[in-house]
């Protein structure tokens, strides 16, 4: 998130690709408040954007879109908090971007399903590599496919 994802999302904002109101919700096991996550993001942008790309007003606008929830992929911790955060704007497009190891893709997919976070506008994005070989990639694809329809 620090090196690639937050700067990429910031660039999307700079190019006018976000409609209002867009929210970006960070989630991991770490315990952070929304404000702590916004400071983390601002610091990451200062450090990782190219010279001349950091615009204080745009960074402030960008970080105001950010929210954070502490969630554990393998337990029930935090999933109800995420659901509450997603209640506002439940008709909006939801993209779950899984920047995690492939070993927990299926755990997260199942938690998203089990906590009824999937809407008709829900998307899932998984980072590569997806598996260690063809067999494990096929298994991960099938597991995720049980929760999310391909189309």
pLDDT digits (tens, 9 = 90+) for 69-85: 999 999 999 999 999 99
Determine the pLDDT at residue 103. 81
Tell me which residue has tokens 């952070």.
Answer: 32
Distance CA 36, CA 117 (A): 25
Q: Are 101 and 130 in contact (CB under 8 A)?
A: no
| pLDDT confidence tier of residue 32, bands split at 50, 70 and 90 | very high
Determine the pLDDT at residue 127. 78
Q: What percent of the chain has pLDDT over 90?
A: 60
Determine the pLDDT at residue 106. 84
Q: Are 48 and 2 in contact (CB under 8 A)?
A: yes
Indicate the pairing of strand 24-28 with strand 94-98.
unpaired
Distance CA 100, CA 144 (A): 14
Residues 6 or more apart in contact with residue 43 via CB below 8 angstroms:
none
pLDDT digits (tens, 9 = 90+) for 109-144: 999 999 999 988 899 888 777 778 899 888 888 888
b/e per residue 79-95 (b: at least 16 CB within 10 A): beebeebbeeeeeeebe
* Structure tokens that stand for 143 in this block: 């597991």
Coil, strand or helix: which one is 34? helix
Determine the pLDDT at residue 91. 81
> Which pTM value belongs to this model?
0.86
Determine the pLDDT at residue 150. 75
């Amino acid at each position: 998130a620090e090196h690639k994802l937050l700067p990429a999302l910031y660039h999307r904002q700079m190019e006018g690709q976000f409609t209002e109101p867009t929210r970006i919700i960070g989630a991991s096991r770490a315990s952070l408040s929304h404000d702590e996550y916004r400071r983390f993001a601002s610091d990451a942008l200062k450090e990782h954007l190219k010279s001349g790309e950091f615009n204080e007003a745009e960074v402030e606008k960008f970080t105001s879109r950010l929210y954070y929830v502490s969630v554990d992929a393998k337990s029930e911790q935090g999933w109800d908090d995420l659901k509450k955060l997603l209640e506002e704007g439940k008709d909006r497009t939801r993209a779950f971007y899984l920047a995690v190891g492939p070993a927990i893709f299926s755990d997260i997919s199942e938690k998203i399903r089990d906590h009824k976070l999937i809407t008709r506008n829900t998307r899932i994005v998984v980072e590569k590599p997806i598996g260690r070989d063809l067999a494990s990639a096929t298994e991960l694809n099938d597991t995720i496919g049980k929760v999310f329809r391909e189309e």
